[in-house]
Structures are given as structure tokens and as C-alpha cells.
Structure 1
């Protein structure tokens, strides 16, 4: 299959490479020359514009920074430019309203499209073990599924257009809350004289167990290898967690949903990011406690 891939950043580069490994012809575009060079090394064919990459493609995958860019790329370079019958997949993390608007525009022009944001981070993007949360019609989902399966370990249909984004921001709001709570518990245990490893051994098999503890421990040297063991470099950047929490707060307001813990997590990450820590892994927030 000829697949255009637009957006070859930290996540998109690995995702495009896995499509090549799966036997697809990947037509790649990014504004970064460095990203294009890496894509060529990974077996992609590169193009000078998103429009050129989408031309003649059977499918178009996008991995872009925000909703405004997603809307612009689709309305300017993809909708009406990609061949009739191409399946469109936006894997960016954006607001629900924009996802639904763009999909509606694509459907008006005769395309099938899904929103398919990801969970898993850079390592999972490179390894092809992402989780995709997919919004769109059943028909669009079935067409998108084999493409997504080449890049991930789990592909889950979340329902109507925009529901992939809804699932992503709800999940990541919960992740932010869990990480802060996990950091608080470790710091309090330490101040009470409890060894971090001992606390981990107890809590990881007790009712306080959660992913932030057992798979991504914010304390160096405790649990499986995680960014805390690398001075909080790599992983899921604080700036990206804050982006998702901001989206969650916008969605909560639009849906009149009460999210007091989410609001507090967003405020704490706003402060942490504002102090110049946006490039550190989000688990580094333990440094503030």
C-alpha cells in the first residue's frame, strides 16, 4: 500500500519506519530536513510538500503538533488532493471539536477518516507497540485497522468521530493525576523513614498499585528501567503532558464535567513547565515535592 506520512517528529519518525518494515511504500513529508533525512535512512521516499506526498497515496497518516496545524494541513494539502477513496488517519493529539470538524469536512468530500491518537511514547513508537484509540465509522475503522496494527500492539475502536481524542485526553488526565499521587506517596514514605524500594515492594502488590508506580516509577533505581534512571531524560515530556492536560480541561469545560483532581494536576504541571522543566520527563515532577 502507498501510505503518505505527514509529520516525522519524535513519534512520527518511528511510526513511519514501522510502516516500511511492514512492507508499505511510505511517502514522507516533514518541515524538518533532519527528519526527512532520517526517514530516507529508514526506507521512506521523501517529498517537498504534504500535497505531493498525499498525491497517489492509498492512505494518509498525519502526526502533527496541534489542532490548528491538523486543520490547515487537511484543508489545504490533503482533502481534495489525496486520491478519491484514500483512507485518512490523523494520529495527532488534538481537541475533540477540531477532530470532529476535520473528519466531517473529509466525509463531505467523499473520504473515510478516523482520529487515532496514540498512547505509549517514543520507545513504543519506535518498537511498534503503541496503543491506538480510534474514532470514526465502523467502515473507516476497519480500513484503518491494518495500517495501525503495523505500528501498534492494540487498536481499539472508541466509537464515533472524535472519540479517539476523548479517550486519549481522559486517559492522560488520569495518568497525570496518578503520577503526582505516586510521587507524593514516595516522598512521604521517605520522610517517614520508609525505604523507597521497600515501599515499592509493598504498594506495587497492594491497593495503591498503578502504572506510574510499577511500570514508570519516578524514583531512580526502583522498579523497571524508566526515565528517572536517566535523570528524567527521554520518555514523555512534561510539555506534552501539559498539552494533554490543557486539552482535558477544555473538554471538561465544554462537557460541563467536574474534574477537580484534573484541574489540580494541570495547575501543578503548569507551574513545573513554567519553571523551565518542559523537556524533562513528566515523572520529574517529583523534584518539586
Structure 2
């Protein structure tokens, strides 16, 4: 049982709440903050502490975890009014939001001299957040990553140190590009098979027994798309944002990657068409409209 470290957890949404709860279960003292009173109350019901503000949560905390919508929001919360100075000198920020790598590097520069930064975005969705079996992609100095690892282990099953600060967020964007491209391929395959007269469930069954298997065919098509539940817990807008982050990173590095660009364009158009708040598995509806 771990009891020595006090953690500030900022962002108690669909992913953040179960992650923070797992830290409480692991024996950590966790002060949580969210703009939603309902989310704060749920966290208190799970044994956590409710802070009055992000700055109050950071005060006296050895580790600060951010699980927010993007890097700009993270910077506003931590740096605006120099709120990060409420944390003890040398405290560790685990930036677990889906942010752009350049935003993370900028954050690290802004708080340098007072705080250490490790970017540690996750993959696995709400179910694995609840189970504590997320995959973590981390970026940061070796010593900072080692210091973060016990905290990360309370929320995840697989932890990868990908390189210096920003590397974790770069890897997350790359991962979600591959994931989003897989959704496009799986949905188009099902729609193509259906147009020919094949049973949609049969198409997925064969793909999963063959070389066409991917994450979308395994854990999304039957469970959330063909079932009509569309409840994976990951918003379409967030998927579009992550893929666009990967596309922007590619451009900034002077690369020409047409597949990535086209994938980002499709997801952006789907978010505009359906709204970014819908579940990302609703991408099926978007592509179904395109084929007529």
C-alpha cells in the first residue's frame, strides 16, 4: 500500500475519474479538481478529496496529474497566474492529456526551474481506465520517468518510455493515427461487403480470423458499431484532434505523408458533420452517408 505521496489530479472526466480512483485504491492521498461539481462528488464518493481549485489541489502535492482536453487548456490551468508555483519545488507534473508534443515542450520550458515534466498520455479507453490496465506512452528525463513510474503503475498495465519530453505525446498522436486509419478501413470494408450482399457480421468475423484484423475489427465493430450502441467512451472530436496533431507533426518535420493527411481530413470532416461530442465509433454513420 502506497501512502507517502500526495497527488493532485486535475480533470475528472470519463477517463480521469477512474484513473484518479485507482490511485486512491493504491493508497495515494489524492486531491482532485474538476469544473464539474458532479464529477467532484463522484470522486469524493470513491474516497478522494475535493479541491476548491486546481491551484489548491497542487498545493503540497508531490505529483500533479493533468487529464484535460488539450495542451492549451493544460497550460492555462498550470501557468495562468503562475498557479504551478503553489506546488512544492521539484514536484513532478504528469501531463496525461492528449496534447501536441510542441505544447508539452513549451509547458516544460515555462515551469522549468520549479517543476519537472513527464508527458504520459494513455491508450485503452474507459474500460481499461476502470480496470487500471491502460497503456502509457511517456516522455521525459530518465530520472523523472523513474520517479513517475510507481504512480503510473497504479493506473496502467504497460508503460513505455519513448524518449525526452514530448515523445509520449508524439507517440500518442501516431498511435491514434493508426487507430483512426484502422477504423476507416474496417468501416469501408463492412460497407463494401454489405453492398455486394455479404452479411456485415460475417465480414467482421472473417477479418478477425484473417490478415485484415485490426483494433477496430476486434474491439469496435461488433461491440459498438454493428450493435448500434456507439458507446466506446472516446469522442469523435478527440480522435480527429489527435490525428490532426500527427499530421501537423509530419508537416513540421518536412514530411509528405498523403495517407496521414487524407486520414486527418476525413476525421476533421466527420467531426464537422456529426459534431465532435459524439462517440468516435459514429464515424460509421459518416462513411455510410458518403457511400450513399
Q: Tell me the TM-score normalised to structure 2 length.
A: 0.91
1:153-232 mapped onto 2 (5 Å cutoff): 153-217=157-221, 222=222, 225-226=223-224, 228-232=226-230
| Matched residue, 2:266 | 268
Deviating more after overlay: 147-156 vs 226-235: 226-235
Cα distance in 2, alignment partners of residues 202 and 238 from structure 1: 27
Q: Which residue does 1:111 correspond to in 2?
A: 115
| Aligned residue number for residue 59 of structure 1 | 63
CA distance in 1 between partners of 2:267 and 2:63 (Å)? 36
Match 2:103 to one of 73, 98, 105:
98
Aligned: 1:33 with 2:37: yes
For the 8 Å contact 1:79–1:109, the answer to whether it is kept is no
SS in structure 1 opposite 2:274?
helix
- For residues 278 and 75 of structure 1, do their structure 2 counterparts lie closer, same or farther at Cα, with a shift above 3 Å needed? closer
For 2:225 and 2:201, how far apart are their aligned partners in 1?
17
Query: Quick check: 1:58–1:83 contact (8 Å CA) kept in 2?
Result: yes
Aligned 8 A contact 1:61 1:91 in 2? yes
Name 1:127's counterpart in structure 2.
131
In the other structure, the counterpart of 2:86 is 81
Distance verdict in 2 for CA 1:159–1:210, change over 3 Å: same
Three-state SS of the structure 1 residue aligned to 2:17 is helix
Q: Which runs of 5+ in 2 are unaligned?
A: none
Partners of 2:228 and 2:134 lie apart in 1 by: 22
Measure how far apart 1:153 and its partner are. Answer: 1.2
Q: Which one is further off, 30-39 or 68-77?
A: 68-77
Cα distance in 2 for residues equivalent to 1:198 and 1:30: 44
Counterpart selection for 1:236 from 234, 237, 255: 234
Q: What is the Cα deviation at residue 30 of structure 1?
A: 1.3
Aligned residues of 1:92 and 1:117 also touching (Cα < 8 A): yes
Q: Which residue of 2 aligns with 1:257?
A: 255
Give the superposition deviation at 1:232.
Answer: 1.1
Alpha-carbon distance change, 98 to 73 in structure 1, aligned in 2, over 3 angstroms: same
Q: For 1:95 and 1:50, how far apart are their aligned partners in 2? A: 21
Conserved 8 A contact 2:125-2:232: no
Is 1:9 the equivalent of 2:30? no
**Structure 2: how far apart are the matches of 1:211 and 1:23?**
33
- Of 16, 21, 25, the residue aligned with 1:21 is 25
Alpha-carbon offset, residue 162 of structure 1: 0.1
Could you tell me how far apart the structure 1 residues matched to 2:203 and 2:72 are?
A: 44
> Residues 227 and 61 (structure 1 numbering): CA distance in 2 closer, same or farther, change over 3 Å?
farther
Which structure 1 segments of 5+ residues have no match? Answer: none
So what's the TM-score if we normalise by structure 1?
A: 0.92
Q: Which residue of 1 aligns with 2:277?
A: 279
